[in-house]
A = this chain, B = another copy of it.
């Protein structure tokens, strides 16, 4: 059985981020954070909400995703023009991107080290280093 306060930690996370724990944000947070690491687009999450009988407008999904991202609860990943993915894993890590299926996967953090980082342009400092390993299915796939 689940705890009798299944939302309490999510409510805390939202409050700490300065966001009111509204019905919509709770529902989205639940979908996002209670299933392990996920990589979702806004449309996709909106679809999941509908499937879970949570009526919510697409605009609200976009708002929530950006607010969660600003609060550090999500991370936005850009791998394709015209579509944003939101990653529930905010630890330092990188991605595989399957060009044929448009699927994103985390690369475990221990792997992949980026060395010999050059100095950033004068007057700037690094905010993040993104590595995307693009892959495609092998030819003779069944």
- Chain A residues with CB under 8 Å of chain B are 76, 78-84, 96, 98-99, 105, 107-108, 111-118, 120-121, 123-138, 141
State the CA gap A130–B78 with chains docked (Å): 11
Total identical chains: 2
Beyond A99-B127, A131-B131, whether A113 also contacts B116 by CB under 8 A is yes
B121:A105 contact, CB within 8 angstroms:
yes
Q: Which residues of B contact A125 (CB under 8 A)?
A: 135-136, 138
The one of B80, B81, B113, B126 that contacts A133, using a Cβ cutoff of 8 Å: B126
Q: Which residues of B contact A128 (CB under 8 A)?
A: 133-134
State the CA gap A132–B133 with chains docked (Å): 12
